[in-house]
Amino acid sequence: MSDSFISSKPIPVRERLIMALDVSSIDEAQALVEELGDAVIFYKVGMELFMSGDYFGFIEWLKARNKKVFVDLKFFDIPATVGRAIKALSSKGVDLATIHGNDSIMEAAAQAKGDLKVLAVTALTSLDRGDLDDLGFQCDVKQLVLSRAKRALQIGCDGIVSSGLEVSMIREELGQKLLVITPGIRPVDNREDDDQKRAVSVEQAIQNGADYLVVGRPIRDAADRRAMAEKIQGQIAALFV
């Protein structure tokens, strides 16, 4: 793999790791953040935490500790509603947020985002070819991802969420124009109960061109969480020397 796809964006290296706070309570999330300390700067807060308590109070708590915040709620509704939701979110100091949907939804979000960076979801990393067939998508997974990436760029979204398997294709077609956030990162082989079907390693995702890596379970479930986070930070940093 050529190094030409490695991100050239001026992102501090230690901010390229985004820790997914996929835990069941705000208290648990706060304890995890405190345990990780300066090993992690960027955090993803998703639907599980949204349903568990004072979600926006927790975002304020993170920002007060100089953390960056990725709101992963994958907004999908009529365009006007998504636009208003994004506008409201932009006033809360959030750095990244995800949306689903067609062109009109992306347009509404792009127009309302302010300083918030809006990411269009391409194809969830938990989906494989069989799942896409069930959903009625007859095209190849890679072509679906590329099509959505092109539309997101044309419409004015800041980036996309994409499996690391498709990032090199996106970079080859679109260069460094979009932010690419890659979930489903697995430093070790997937367990049988892992629902991420299109996962990649840290090195593969970065070499393919990902700007940010979202890592959850490998850190959350580690015996020494801070050590695991620092190990992944080291793997990322080694690729930007």
Catalytic residues: 74
State the Cα–Cα distance between residues 180 and 119, nearest whole angstrom: 8
What separation, in Å, do the N-terminal and C-terminal C-alpha atoms of the chain show?
17
Q: What angle do CA 183, 101, 63 make, to 5 degrees?
A: 50
Structure token digits, residue 145: 């991802």
CA angle 123/168/180 to nearest 5° reads 55
In the chain, the amino acid numbered 180 is V
User: What size, in residues, is the chain?
Assistant: 241
Question: Helix-strand-coil percent breakdown of the chain, rounded to 5?
Answer: 45, 15, 35
d(CA 176, CA 104): 24
- Enumerate the H helices of 14-68 as residue ranges: 26-36, 47-50, 55-64
